């Protein structure tokens, strides 16, 4: 991609996890300078602290960049793509574009903050004014502090502090037409970033699930406000029902902003309890960012160090069965297959499959976290490890390790008519509801009538939950002893 360049005095917007034109403080500020605006995206997987995106995220990034480029084009703003370490690319680009100002929205991982701070210094020394904003969270993670001045480790007081603070400002509109430059700035073609898979195309389910760009994302959110938010409080736990927003992949890449969702929900007229629950979920996202900001390397380190002593298992049989959705537990298998097919999994089921891996199979949460990282379109450096550690019991404000989800009871409670399991485990679809979540208890005739042959058309259970639960509780004693 080559783009017309400003010969003199351009304003650069460095896009990162904020691939949108509406409610984008960096773009808004650049447009207000009246200078020719140039967009830059750097595909940087090698700077210290950068966590290279997983395969599903790369797919989402590709299409989000294509949509952003179109949306910027309508404003007269070119988007230039480059690849390499940001610390080299950004100053060089500022020189080529004859920029006097650069704008970006902040990211909150400590290692990336270090990259950005150093860049700010270098750019300032080179006469380029660098200005940054909070565009991707409702609050600035460094500003919320407990009474004793430290970071929050417990969600409820964090949520209270967030609610007691200032209401997030209203979302900004997309800028009107921006001044454009002249001359050419060379950039890479989008396909040269190699974000799409080579070889067999496994992205059909992703394409069906995640239309790209702001208009599509906001359209989905508007539908959610009209039909999903009313009843969200209870419905959000039912994976077979359309009561969640499915905004997480768009939030991950900043195709929508949390302020747009916050204010959209507030103005929707939804019942108060449903609204509060939804805002509270947005606050969980903030809490995860807060934790990641204050406690770096959450994806590799147990927040609760006593878990360093936990006797995790390795299993060359059980781990692949979990990944493929072949554990013999229908709700677990439905979740893992939803993930594989669509790059997403319903939150309730994420908790069930994570608990199953960590407790029933006693496999290290980091192994599951990495699998999610590679397969989720919404894989997030803060929310993914924070939630894995929450389920494992090693995290901040975590579910206690001894709270072990029973995958049968969870299935029966949250997918009582089996809509979700039948959608993703079709080989069980003819089983009656009463036995759907525990096919091993079905009699021979029921199985035969449903066309199910255990061990042939659908796997036997990899573990017996009751025995596995006991082993997990025994192992927990190791952690207790370490305290
Ligand atoms: C093991 C595990 C791993 C997870 N990994 C990720 C991840 O990598 N990326 C990610 O965005 N979410 C992650 N989550 C949180 C949650 O499952 C998703 O945010 C949610 O399912 C997204 O669907 P939605 O947009 O329809 O949610 P909605 O119910 O509509 O909620 C609205 C928004 O609130 C936020 N939110 C909701 N629940 C949580 C939560 N528990 N933690 C943080 N934010 C939340 C999300 O941004 C979400 O889009 C994980 C949860 C678990 C249990």
CATH number of the CATH domain containing 130: 3.40.50.620
pLDDT at 120: 97
Same domain, 311 and 380: yes
Q: What is the pLDDT of residues 371-406, one digit of tens each?
A: 999 999 999 999 999 999 999 999 988 778 788 999
With respect to residue 117, please indicate whether it lies within any of the assigned structural domains: yes
The answer to whether 333 and 424 have CB atoms below 8 angstroms apart is yes
Residues 152 and 283 in one domain: yes
Residues 122 and 144 both lie in one domain: no
Among residues 281, 340, 406, 427, which one is catalytic? Answer: 281
**Residue of the nearest CA to atom 46 in ligand 1?**
248
Are 268 and 334 within one domain? Answer: no
The two structure tokens encoding residue 218: 């906001």
Nearest CA to ligand 1 atom 47: 248
Note if 284 is an active site residue.
Answer: yes
Residue 200 lies in a domain: no
Determine if residue 219 is left, alpha or beta; phi over 0 gives left, psi from -120 to 50 gives alpha, anything else beta.
Answer: alpha
Alpha-carbon radius of gyration of the chain: 24
Residues 321 and 431 in one domain: yes
The percentage of the chain sitting over the pLDDT mark of 90, rounded to a whole number, equals 89
Determine whether 322 is an active site residue: no
| Number of domains observed in the structure of the chain | 3
Ligand 1 mean position to 353 CA, how many Å?
14
| Residue 202 within a domain | no
Higher pLDDT: 430 or 177? It is 430
Residue 16: partners with Cβ closer than 8 Å, 6 or more residues away: 41, 104, 105, 107, 254
pLDDT at 7: 53
Are both 74 and 220 inside the same structural domain?
no
Query: What does the pLDDT look like over 280-313, one tens digit per residue?
Result: 999 999 999 999 999 999 999 999 999 999 999 9
Residue 302 annotated as catalytic: no
Q: What is the pLDDT of residue 199?
A: 83
**269 with 372, same domain?**
no
Instruction: Print the domain residue range for 86.
Output: 3-135
Cα(166)–Cα(172) distance, integer angstroms: 17
Q: Does the residue 203 lie in any domain?
A: no
CATH code, domain carrying 238: 1.25.40.80
Distance CA 384, CA 370 (A): 9
Catalytic-role residue among 347, 412, 427, 440: 347
pLDDT of the residue at 91: 97
Here the CATH number for the domain that contains residue 339 is 1.10.579.10
Please tell me whether residues 338 and 387 are part of one structural domain.
Answer: yes
450 and 340 housed in the same domain: yes
HSE (side-chain half, CA atoms, 13 Å) at 55: 17
Expressed in angstroms and rounded, the spacing between residue 254 Cα and the centre of ligand 1 is 15
Sign of the Cα torsion 100, 106, 111, 114 reads: positive
Q: 375 and 281 share a domain?
A: no
Q: Tell me whether residue 182 is in a domain.
A: no
Q: Is the CB of 383 under 6 A from ligand 1?
A: yes
Q: Which of 263, 294, 325 is the last residue of a domain?
A: 294
218 and 323: one domain?
no
Predicted structure pTM score:
0.97
CA dist 408 to 414, 433, 440, Å? 10, 12, 11
Is the shortest distance between the CB of 387 and ligand 1 below 6 Å? yes
- pLDDT tops 60 at residue 5: no
In this predicted model, what pLDDT tens digit does every residue of 344-370 receive, in sequence order? Answer: 999 999 999 999 999 999 999 999 999
Q: Which amino acid residue places its CA nearest to atom 18 of ligand 1?
A: 347
Which atom of ligand 1 is least distant from the CA of 224? 30
Return the DSSP state at 188. Answer: -
For ligand 1, whether the C-beta of 248 sits within 6 Å is: yes
Residue 198 lies in a domain: no
- Residue 379 alpha carbon, nearest atom of ligand 1: 8
Burial class (CB in 10 A: 0-12, 13-18, 19+), 16: buried
Question: What are 94-123's pLDDT values in tens digits?
Answer: 999 999 999 999 999 999 999 999 999 999
| 402 lies in the same domain as 449 | yes
């Amino acid at each position: 991609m080559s783009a017309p360049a400003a010969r003199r005095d351009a304003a650069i917007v460095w896009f990162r996890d904020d691939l949108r034109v509406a409610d984008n403080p960096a773009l808004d500020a650049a447009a207000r300078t009246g200078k020719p605006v140039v967009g830059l995206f750097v595909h940087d997987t090698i700077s210290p602290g950068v966590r290279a995106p997983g395969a599903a995220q790369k797919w989402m990034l590709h299409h989000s960049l294509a949509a952003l480029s179109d949306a910027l084009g309508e404003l007269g703003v070119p988007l230039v793509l480059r690849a390499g370490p940001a610390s080299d690319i950004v100053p060089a680009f500022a020189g080529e574009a004859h920029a006097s100002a650069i704008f970006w929205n902040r990211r909150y991982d400590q290692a990336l903050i270090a990259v950005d701070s150093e860049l700010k210094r270098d750019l300032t020394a080179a006469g380029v004014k660098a200005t940054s904003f909070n565009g991707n969270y409702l609050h600035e993670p460094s500003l919320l502090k407990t009474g004793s001045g430290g970071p929050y480790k417990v969600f409820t007081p964090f949520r209270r502090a967030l609610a007691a603070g200032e209401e997030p400002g209203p979302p900004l509109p997309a800028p009107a037409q921006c001044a454009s430059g002249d001359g050419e700035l060379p950039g890479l073609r989008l396909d040269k970033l190699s974000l799409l898979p080579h070889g067999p195309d496994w992205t059909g389910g992703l394409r069906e699930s995640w239309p790209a760009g702001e208009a599509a994302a906001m359209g989905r959110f508007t539908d959610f406000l009209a039909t999903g938010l009313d009843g969200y409080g209870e419905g959000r736990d039912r994976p077979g029902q359309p009561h969640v927003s499915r905004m997480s992949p768009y939030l991950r890449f900043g195709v929508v902003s949390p302020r747009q969702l916050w204010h959209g929900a507030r103005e929707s007229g939804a019942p108060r309890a449903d609204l509060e629950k939804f805002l509270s979920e947005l606050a969980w996202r903030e809490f995860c960012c807060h934790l990641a900001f204050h406690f770096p390397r959450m994806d590799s380190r147990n927040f609760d160090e006593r878990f360093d002593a936990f006797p995790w298992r390795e299993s060359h049989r059980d781990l692949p069965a979990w990944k493929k959705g072949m554990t013999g537990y229908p709700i677990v298998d439905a979740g893992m297959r939803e993930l594989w097919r669509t790059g997403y999994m319903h939150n309730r089921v994420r908790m069930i499959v994570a608990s199953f891996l960590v407790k029933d199979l006693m496999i290290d949460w980091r192994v599951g976290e990495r699998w999610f990282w590679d397969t989720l379109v919404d894989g997030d450096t803060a929310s993914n490890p924070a939630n894995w550690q929450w389920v494992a019991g090693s995290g901040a404000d975590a579910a206690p390790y001894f709270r072990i989800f029973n995958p049968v009871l969870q299935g029966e409670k949250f997918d009582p008519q089996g809509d979700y399991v039948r959608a993703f485990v079709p080989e069980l679809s003819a089983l009656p509801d009463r036995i759907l979540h525990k096919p091993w208890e079905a009699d021979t005739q029921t199985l035969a009538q449903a066309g199910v042959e255990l061990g042939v058309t659908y796997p036997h259970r990899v573990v017996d939950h009751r025995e596995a639960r006991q082993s997990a509780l025994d192992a927990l004693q190791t952690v207790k002893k370490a305290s």
